Amino acid sequence: MSSELLQNALQLTSIIVSIMLIGLILLQVKGGGLGSLLGGDAGGGIARTRRGLEKTMFHITIWLSIAFLGISTFSVIVDRL
């Protein structure tokens, strides 16, 4: 496979993974607002445990972020060859 074709495939895969990652992150966002971003306690001090679909989405988000990092790193390596 030529380097240019591989680079195009990696770019397309990177775009697809990033769109999926953005979608999953947006689905997980709760109504915490800007205060929770800056360290405010929007949850009232109550700890929550992820269960069911929320836990599955959390794990998929982690794996997609690892895949995105790997694809990006491999893309840089292929680009330098």
Q: Are 17 and 57 in contact (CB under 8 A)?
A: no
Q: Using H for helix, E for strand and C for coil, what is the string for 47-61?
A: CCCCCHHHHHHHHHH
**CA R_g for the chain:** 17
pLDDT tens digit string along 15-44?
999 999 999 999 887 655 555 555 555 555
Is the pTM for the entire model greater than 0.75? no
Query: Would you kindly state where each structural domain of the chain is located, as residue ranges?
Result: 21-26+51-81
pLDDT tens digit string along 42-53?
555 566 677 888
**Phi/psi of residue 6, nearest 5 degrees:** -65, -40
**Phi/psi of residue 26, nearest 5 degrees:** -65, -35
Q: Are 48 and 22 in contact (CB under 8 A)?
A: no
